[in-house]
A and B are shown apart, each in its own frame.
Chain A
Amino acid sequence: MSAWPTLESNANAVMLSTFGVPATFFPQDGSGGWLDGQPIVGIVMQPAMAEDYSPGFGPGTAVLRFWVNFETITPSPRHGDQIGFNGATYVVQEVEASIGGAAVLKLRVE
């Protein structure tokens, strides 16, 4: 049992190195401003409703589910943060963190 968290962290890292795509994370600074953007890697997941264009807005997907290795990102993403991906800026609408250290960020284009 004690090795399980390590195994899951390793699995998350392998998932990202295999399927991950780059994005830029813009966290809030806690006082109404923004911290500098930082590169992150995530995996684009199947959204709640399939859209008829490729990612990016105008044409593009307006809603993204972005799987990230949550425990490795500082500060932790929270709703209201922004993520730049494929030329579009998305707002983190919801964070679904799992006990395994990963999280699904539900993003909507701004």
Chain B
Amino acid sequence: MLNPAPVTDAIVAALQSIPELAAAMTVLDAQQNPVCRIGAFHYLLGQEHRLAEAVYKMPAPSMLVAWEGTKGGNFDGQTIWKHRWGIYYRMGNAAGVAVPVGYEDLWAITCNCPPGGTGPNIRNIQLCPGLDIMDTPSIDHALDEDLIDRFKGAFIFPELGDN
């Protein structure tokens, strides 16, 4: 079975390489350097917050990718593992922005705009050796602890065989 950790980083890299998404998630830091706020969450107690706190602390705008489980089973002749990642979205402040990028736009960009600006979109590329292209992704509305809108997408990747 594949280790989900490097796949998490590969998903982040692919998302960061979508120009429209990177633009929506890039801000200037205190030194006025651009920072793309699409990050990975790994379960590293002592180095990372717990996932709930990491999601709670997400600044606006930002995205966070976290592995959220693997389902085992005999899905077909060559698939016994399906790995699931949560894609957490926090949109930026739309006030004073001429062309705001809302949650609808962010999801459409994620699904349709190709990494690198050309070629197939993220739904149709093989992110890692041993990993099939993803199942059709989903997204759902959620409320944060302050009852503010946020969204969480789900990417499910079947593993090719048993690596």
Contact = CB atoms under 8 A, between A and B. Distances in A.
B57 interface: yes
B147 interface: yes
Contacts of A81: 95
* Pairs of residues from A and B, 5 with the lowest C-beta to C-beta distance, nearest first: A80-B95, A48-B145, A62-B57, A91-B93, A106-B146
Interface string A9-34: 00000000000000000001000111
Given A32-B97, A94-B147, 18 more contacts: A28-B96, A32-B98, A33-B96, A47-B145, A48-B145, A51-B53, A57-B59, A61-B57, A63-B56, A80-B93, A82-B93, A91-B93, A93-B146, A106-B146, A108-B59, A108-B148, A110-B92, A110-B93
A1 interface: no
Given A34-B96, A80-B94, A94 B148 contact: yes
B23 interface: no
A36 interface: no
A49 interface: yes
B55 to A, nearest CB: 10
A69 B97 CA distance: 28
23 contacts: A32-B97, A32-B98, A47-B145, A48-B56, A52-B49, A52-B53, A61-B57, A62-B57, A62-B58, A62-B59, A63-B145, A79-B95, A80-B94, A80-B96, A81-B95, A91-B93, A93-B146, A106-B148, A108-B60, A108-B148, A109-B60, A110-B27, A110-B59
Contacts of B59: 57, 62, 108-110
Contacts of A33: 96
B63 to A, nearest CB: 15
A51 B56 contact: yes
Interface of A: 28, 32-34, 47-49, 51-52, 57, 61-63, 65, 79-82, 91, 93-94, 106, 108-110
Nearest to A60: B57
Contacts of B60: 91, 108-110
Given A32-B98, A108-B148, A62 B56 contact: yes
Contacts of A110: 27, 59-60, 92-93
